[in-house]
Structure formats: structure tokens, C-alpha cells
Chains A and B, each alone.
Chain A
Amino acid sequence: MKKLINSADSVVTDALAGMAEAHPSLRVDVDNKIIYRRSAPVAGKVGLVSGGGSGHEPLHGGFVGHGMLDAACPGEIFTSPVPDQVIEATKGVDGGAGVLHIVKNYTGDVLNFEMAAELCAEEGIEVAVVLVNDDVAVKDSLYTAGRRGTGATVFVEKIAGALAETGAPLAEVVRVGTEVNARSRSFGVALSPGTVPAAGKPNFDLADDEIELGIGIHGEPGRTRAPAAPAREIARIAMDAVHADMPLTGDVLVMVNGMGGTPLIELYVVFAEVAAYVRDKGATLTRSLVGNYVTSLDMQGFSVTVCALTDELTRLWDAPVETPGLRWGR
């Protein structure tokens, strides 16, 4: 295994040091592993905090800035942050209007954010949560931990962040964040597994002529394995899963997201197929995003996320944003 690291134990903090050097718009607390918007706390604005395991960059630290998050708490690779980080970040972004935690639905993320939220509430900070669970590959039933939070996290952070920027109260920011999640669905496909630096070898084996369907973002195997196929067929499998769960109609925002090890040219090949699929179902592709936004280290593959837009969501999506990972309108 060759990786651009100094040591497996220092990957997260070494990368945070790099973010601090690269982005003067951020204030990075390397010791406590928290990335703040430099202007935080913004008086009178709802503070947005998210976090999760590292290895998904630019999620979440790359989405800290004007119009999106106020702080992000990266854990170890694929391991949720600890409550201390979330408590510190919550206090650091509380501008008096309350703080929203955006949490991807994984047992570890949920437990650590819950513990932090309880302690913050005891100290008098108003904390609300939006749980993201958009992955249709997992059945939401008594027999699973519920659907995973994946690509829709970017949409929730962008759109809730845009509303918070207008000075909207916490309840409104929660409402819009919850609505974005409810109107979004995702499905992921891997062509090759990723390699966690501490493990030193790929998480699972995949033959040259096999793909893994219904993957998450932590290198865990997916639901099923299938023969490799042209991009058109793979895109159709992914979109069929999305469409079966939430029929495509009206205006849609679509993200084709790279898992970290796939070239952009292949993502555009997939996007062409996805766009044709959307059109074929009679929906209108009005907003799009193609690139690496919610990655899984060096995994090859993609995920597709669809959000059924409303006028309000479109307006908030278009609102100015200035973060390392997303930037427009300013």
C-alpha cells in the first residue's frame, strides 16, 4: 500500500494542519479537531455543526463557511467524533439563536451527537438535530440500524445553511433541513474497495469483473455483488433503486458523486446516463453537481443522489456559498 501519509496515526491531524494553511477563511483547532468558520459565532444566527468520521473529504470540513456549516468535527478515519469535540464546537458557534446538529444516521454518529446534545442542553444551549438517512440500499426496518446518511448530507448542509444565513429561527432551519432529507434519495456503487491507512489493505476483495452494489461510505461491503457492466447499465441499476423508492417527478437536483478514486471523466459519463434517465421518467433536471463531495478514501465508484426540489429549496440551493468544497454567488 502506498499512501501520502506520514503515519497512519497522524493522518487526521496532519490533514487538518493542511486545511488550516490552505484556507484562511477557516479557523482550525488541530488539537481538538474542530474546523470553524472564522467569523463564528455569528451573533443572532443559528449555528450549524456537523461531523463524522474522516475519510469522506470534502465532507464535512470542506463545507464550513458562509452559507453552509459553522463548524465541523472530524473523527478518526471512518469513526464518529467524540462528544467532547461536538460540545466544544457547539459552544463555539452558538450565536444566541441555537445550534443545529446535522447527523448522518450511523449508530456511532447518533450516540456521540446525542451525548453531546444532552450536555449542551444542560448548559443552556438550545440544540436541535436533523438526521440524514437517504440511502435506499438499506431497508428502513426493525432488522437494520435504519437507512444510512450519505449524499443528501451535502444538500441538507447547503440548504439549511442558506436559510440560517438569512437569520431564520432554529425551528425553520430544522424544518427545511428535515424537508431536504425527506425529499432526497441515494444509491452507491463500488468498482474497487478503499484502503483504511491503519488497516493497510483493502477492506474487501472484488474481482476485476465484479462490482459491489448498494455500498455505504465506510468501505463496508454492499448489499449484493454483480458483474461489471457498461456505465449505462450501472447508472440504470442505481437510478432504478432511487426511482422505485421515490418516483422521479417535477424539478430535481441531482448529484453524481465520486467515491474518491474515480476520475471526473467517468463521473461525467455516468451523469449523462443519469440525466437521460431523469428525462425519460418525465422529471426536469434543473440543478446538478458532479464531483467528489462525499468520498470513501480511495474507493472507486460513485453514488447518485436525487432531491425533489420545491421553489424554496431551489432558491436556497442557489443562494451564495463560500466554502472550500462549494463556492458560488459571492
Chain B
Amino acid sequence: MDVQFFTAWIEEIARAVADGRDHLTRLDAAIGDADHGSNLDRGFTAVLAALAATPPETPGAVLTLTGTTLIRKVGGASGPLYGTAFRRMGAALGQGDADVTLAGLAAALDEALAGVRKLGGATEGDKTMVDALGPATRALAEAADKGMDAEEALDAARDAAEEGARATIPLQARKGRASYLGERSVGHEDPGAASTALMFRALRAVAGR
């Protein structure tokens, strides 16, 4: 996975966020404040502009620029959280321009997960993006250990993220704005977990090209 791959991933996320904007906003309207789709869309539109203005030359630089731009443009909780996730991944991949292995990607995602957990204070089961990011990261690491090829491994990561997002439906939120609703947050998919699953779908889609 080279710099073109990671650039294509971010572009695919931007396209999917634009397409899924209303869906994400509807999920957020149920248990939050109805802006998750529009905030991420604004953020990734800015990311596309930043990538086009100064195309990064390494995989790490693509992800770092993505994260920095999200922090600068999104606001809310999702800006710092996704921004930190991408910046941590970028830092973990370092400054080299070598192809990233599955194990390397899994390690970078593990850094992203640690960063998100530290910043937001959420653990799995709190009904947040961590409920998708955690299982997907583990699934990718296991797949890499088993020596699966990229498409199989990213299938597993995507499936784990989607399953994790679905599994937030019966949960009561303990972090973020949905937690104010108490028991009324039960029965709704967490929008942050849903957008995380979208990013893993985009990753798998790019690997299949």
C-alpha cells in the first residue's frame, strides 16, 4: 500500500461521506444534534483541497495532513477525535515512502485507537466510534498475523467495523452528547461508529481496485 493507495482511500472516504451525509445526519438527529454528516462532509471537502494543493509524498504524510485538516476545519467532538486518529496513524507510519504492510497498517490503527481512547475517554461499549474502531483494528491485526492477503484482511476489518457499529444500537450511551438522553439513547446506531464503519468500507473498496 503506497502513497497513491492512501490518497485514494481518503478520496474514497470523502466521496462516501458526501453520499452518506444525510444518513449520518439522520442518525445524529435521533440521539445528538443532527450535524455529524454535514460536519464530516465539510471536513473531508477541506481535506481534498489540502491534498490537491500540496500532494503528500509518503503514506504517513497523507494521513497526517488529513488529520491536521480535520482538526482545523471540523470542530465539535468529531474534528479532534478523527483528526487525532489520522494524525496518530500518520505518525506511526513515519516519514518513509516504502509500501505499508498489513501489519504496519494494523499497528498504525492501534495507535489511532489509543489516541482516540485517550482524548475522548471512551472504552468499548460506551456507544461511540471506539465500538467500530476497536474490533476493526483487532480484526486487521489477526488477519495480518494469519498471513491473509490484503483484500481478505480488509474484508475482515470492514466486517468487524460494521458489526461493531450495528452492535451500538442496543447500547445506552455513556460518552458524548447522546449520553444526555440516558435510556432514550437505546435503540439507535451511534453516528460516530457508523462513520468509522464507512471509513473501513472505503479502505476495502480501494484495495479491490
The answer, yes or no, to whether B166 is at the interface (CB within 8 Å) is no
Q: Given A204-B29, A220-B181 in contact, is the A77-B35 Cβ separation under 8 Å?
A: yes
CA distance A106 to B78 in the complex (A): 12
The answer, yes or no, to whether B76 is at the interface (CB within 8 Å) is yes
- The answer to whether A111 touches B180, judged by C-beta atoms less than 8 angstroms apart, is no
Partner of B179, one of A137, A143, A221, A222: A143
Stretch in A79-87, A166-174, A237-245, A275-283 with 4+ CB within 8 Å of B: A79-87
- The answer to whether B34 touches A79, judged by C-beta atoms less than 8 angstroms apart, is no
Q: Which of B79, B120, B174 gathers most chain A CB within 10 Å?
A: B79
- The answer to whether A107 touches B71, judged by C-beta atoms less than 8 angstroms apart, is no
| A271 vs chain B, min Cβ distance (A) | 26
The answer, yes or no, to whether A223 is at the interface (CB within 8 Å) is yes
Stretch in A92-100, A195-203, A319-327 with 4+ CB within 8 Å of B: A195-203
The answer, yes or no, to whether B207 is at the interface (CB within 8 Å) is no
CA distance A240 to B3 in the complex (A): 60
The answer, yes or no, to whether A62 is at the interface (CB within 8 Å) is no
The residue in chain B whose Cβ has the minimal distance to the Cβ of A296 is: B33
- The answer to whether B35 touches A76, judged by C-beta atoms less than 8 angstroms apart, is yes
The answer, yes or no, to whether A101 is at the interface (CB within 8 Å) is no
Partner of A221, one of B79, B81, B184: B184
Beta-carbon contacts under 8 Å, A236-281 to B: none
| B77 vs chain A, min Cβ distance (A) | 4
Question: What residues on B are CB-neighbors of A218 within 8 Å?
Answer: 32-33, 177
The answer, yes or no, to whether B55 is at the interface (CB within 8 Å) is no
The answer, yes or no, to whether A108 is at the interface (CB within 8 Å) is yes
- The answer to whether A112 touches B75, judged by C-beta atoms less than 8 angstroms apart, is yes
Question: What residues on A are CB-neighbors of B174 within 8 Å?
Answer: 142-144
Partner of A82, one of B75, B120, B177, B180: B75
Question: What residues on A are CB-neighbors of B35 within 8 Å?
Answer: 76-79, 196, 198-199
Q: Which of B72, B78, B120, B181 gathers most chain A CB within 10 Å?
A: B181
CA distance A223 to B172 in the complex (A): 13
- The answer to whether A112 touches B80, judged by C-beta atoms less than 8 angstroms apart, is yes
CA distance A145 to B77 in the complex (A): 12
Partner of A108, one of B31, B77, B172, B180: B77
Beta-carbon contacts under 8 Å, A98-152 to B: 106-108, 111-112, 115, 137-139, 142-145, 148
The number of chain B residues with a CB under 8 A from chain A is 33
Partner of B176, one of A53, A78, A145: A145
The answer, yes or no, to whether A177 is at the interface (CB within 8 Å) is no
The answer, yes or no, to whether B15 is at the interface (CB within 8 Å) is no
CA distance A11 to B176 in the complex (A): 26
- The answer to whether B79 touches A82, judged by C-beta atoms less than 8 angstroms apart, is yes
CA distance A229 to B134 in the complex (A): 46
CA distance A76 to B46 in the complex (A): 15
- The answer to whether A220 touches B180, judged by C-beta atoms less than 8 angstroms apart, is yes
- The answer to whether B180 touches A145, judged by C-beta atoms less than 8 angstroms apart, is yes
Question: What residues on B are CB-neighbors of A144 within 8 Å?
Answer: 174, 179-180, 182
| A101 vs chain B, min Cβ distance (A) | 15
The residue in chain A whose Cβ has the minimal distance to the Cβ of B174 is: A143
Question: What residues on A are CB-neighbors of B119 within 8 Å?
Answer: 111
Beta-carbon contacts under 8 Å, B14-40 to A: 25, 29, 31-35, 38-39
The answer, yes or no, to whether A216 is at the interface (CB within 8 Å) is yes
Question: What residues on B are CB-neighbors of A223 within 8 Å?
Answer: 180-182, 184
CA distance A220 to B119 in the complex (A): 23
The answer, yes or no, to whether B138 is at the interface (CB within 8 Å) is no
The answer, yes or no, to whether A161 is at the interface (CB within 8 Å) is no
Q: Given A79-B75, A143-B172, A220-B180 in contact, is the A107-B120 Cβ separation under 8 Å?
A: yes
CA distance A112 to B76 in the complex (A): 7
| B103 vs chain A, min Cβ distance (A) | 31
Question: What residues on B are CB-neighbors of A222 within 8 Å?
Answer: 181
CA distance A107 to B178 in the complex (A): 11
The answer, yes or no, to whether B140 is at the interface (CB within 8 Å) is no
Question: What residues on B are CB-neighbors of A203 within 8 Å?
Answer: 29, 33-34
CA distance A137 to B38 in the complex (A): 28
- The answer to whether A138 touches B180, judged by C-beta atoms less than 8 angstroms apart, is yes
The answer, yes or no, to whether A219 is at the interface (CB within 8 Å) is yes
Knowing that A78-B34, A82-B71, A107-B176 touch, tell me 20 more A-B residue pairs with CB under 8 angstroms.
A75-B76, A76-B75, A77-B35, A81-B75, A82-B73, A82-B74, A82-B75, A83-B71, A108-B75, A112-B79, A112-B80, A138-B179, A143-B179, A143-B182, A144-B180, A145-B176, A199-B34, A218-B32, A218-B33, A221-B31
A to B CB contacts below 8 Å, 29 in the list: A53-B76, A75-B76, A77-B35, A78-B33, A78-B34, A79-B75, A80-B75, A83-B80, A106-B77, A106-B177, A107-B120, A107-B175, A107-B177, A111-B119, A111-B120, A112-B80, A138-B179, A143-B172, A145-B179, A148-B180, A196-B34, A198-B35, A198-B38, A199-B34, A203-B34, A216-B177, A218-B32, A218-B33, A220-B32
